[in-house]
Structure 1
Amino acid sequence: MDEARFNAPPPPPLRAKVPRIALLLPLSGPHAKLGNSLLNAAQLALFHFAGKNFELLPQDTQGTPEGAADAAALAIGDGASLILGPLFSSSVETVAPPARAAGVKVVTFSNDRRVAGDGVFTLGFLPDEQVEHVVRFAFKRGMRRFAVLAPNNSYGASISAALEAAALDLGAEITGAEFYDPLADDFSGAVKTIANYKERRQNLLDQRKELENRQDEIALQALKRLENLQTLGDLPFDALLVAEGGKRLQALAALLPYYDIDPKKTRILGTGQWDADGIGSEPALVGGWFAAPAKKERQNFIQQYTEMYATAPSRLATLAYDATALAAVFVKSDGRFDVSEITAPQGFAGRDGIFRFHPEGYAERGLSIHQVGERNTRIILNAPASFQAAN
């Protein structure tokens, strides 16, 4: 426990019929930039819902589970009737027990559904939901054999499990799974293995040797056709799911054609981590598909945020905006927060499109299917306008 934090000046005294909403974010430490972007977004929502009378109490989690526990204790002690945040699942695990004991609900920004339930709601973008959507889309377009390339961590495990579940539901086949150290500098081993490169390369060398020994006209013509090939033999999958983003995605993508995974023959699939500007600068990703929220409402949010703060928001800032908007609408003047109202099956229209809370506490979203282009991505399947349309 950080005793200095508990000796800080108290917040203003409670005002009658003015509920307090705590906002737990990493406002210092290595994730401070992200945390402050979410804080700005929450304050923007306050501005847009200015007619709603409640106090927002930001608390710094310092980006650690211990800091989150201290922040939760301060928030509960200051009379918060609802907690928004924290951001990381490890922090949610330390915040949830005292919040439950105090009867305070938590709307967290985590994307780990394992921490949801019993008064804890997760608003983050679920990677398994994204996998299910893009795999189902690919299956409907004739792809039956899937493989996955993912980091060797809990995120990669959840991606692999989601692919297995989707394949089982659809009757598709998983023909390969390779995991790599996300902290490594070189991912060539994983890509080489998933590509079955060694065997396919040897097949080519053996075929060339056999044809060279024959020395007839047909053999010479066949040899000529093999001149520009790296390998011989088809890949054992129709689509490859690459569960990565940022610089690691670029590094992995550059290795795909090197080990003869041809994006013109094999569809490359991704997750919401692909939802970033400039992704098409890596040629191997052009034509790839991924599932992510529609961009229209988020673009409006980005414009409003940029006008207010003269800088672009983080990708996750919309979560803080939507959570604060929910609090503004549903927290009663006496601090009550009726769970039945936010678990309404029709859901809500947020800055990332429609979403609703499952009774188990995690957020379901209406997702679009995007295709990567050289300059930008385009939507090839629109997100549903409502959950009734999605069913």
Structure 2
Amino acid sequence: MTHETLSSSSSQAPAAASAWTVTTRNRASSVAALLIVAVLLAGIAAPLFASRSVLQDLFFILTMLTLAQCWNLLAGYAGLVSVGQQAFVGFGAYVMAASVALGGFDPVVAILFGGLAAMLLSVPTALFVFRLHGAYFAIGTWVIAEVVRLLLAQWKALGGGTGTSLPTGVARELPGVRLVADWFGVRPAQAADMVYYWLALLLACAAIGFAYRLLRSKQGLGLAAVRDNGQAARAVGIDPNRIRFAVYLAAAFVTGLAGALIYLQKARISPDAAFSVTDWTAYVIFIVVIGGIGTIEGPIIGVVVFFILRNLFADYGSWYLLVLGLLGIAIMLFAPRGLWGLFTERTGIQLFPVRRILAGGPLTKTIKGGPHG
């Protein structure tokens, strides 16, 4: 082989390598991005034409979606199946109530205090439960939630075991309530519902945006590696405990914010309600499982299904829980990846693609690192 041939071959190799690019987007996701923007704009404008009852339903959907995204981040991506997330909901709510009722703080500042307090609570919690694995981890998170509930039930200044109501008129102290009431000519109570809704929308979008950005980053790739095989991830220089600890703290912070916002809107708090394992963990797990664990879209689908079933069967008492349980079992048996996973398998459509795709050469293939491989 001549020297010229070698030079030509070596000069073509970098050009061929540079032709390959790693991306997470495709044509379907680009169209989906436009749809998401349209839905978001419609969501922002919803209070202008929706009734108070509709706004309250949307508030419920958005706050449950936020909680579901946080649990999905833990279980679906970090492999941390917690059944004690009510600890952060309740603790964030109680710190908010104390900040408003006892400290006289602005409600929005009190919500931030609730999120920060939940994140601080997650530090000693993580130091304990991270020593446990599998079912023991799940039980450990539930035990800690019960301990926190029993401790706060002794807080006499906030009503002890029976709870307390927030000061009258606290909703009117929300920033923007008077401005919204004047601009749109509505009563202060309706204006407060509008502000609550916008705060819930902001929080849900922040939770989804944070999860999407994380999963598309190098840290997200490391998180997927830790979930799939912790020992192999450690072998390539990834610290499983550190990355799981960071995700655990972030999920606790957002969960605490959601809990504080929920009970600010309710204007009343009690230990049994704020630390309800059914309301803030069992329902959240159901939402994620039927929607699709390990996907960002799954909780969105799941919360819509849950809301519909809640309205249809809420008057049937224990039958309502029975229907939810049977549906959850059926989904796990016949569609283990959830409704969204079943849809994606048949269509290939992803609204929030996180799988790495090697494109630009003669072949296009997916690189490991997506929600299911």
Q: TM-score range by the shorter chain?
A: under 0.3
Looking at both structures, which has the greater relative contact order when contacts are Cα pairs under 8 Å and sequence separation is at least 6? 2
What is the TM-score normalised by the length of structure 1? 0.24
Higher strand share: 1
What is the TM-score normalised by the length of structure 2? 0.25
Higher helix share: 2
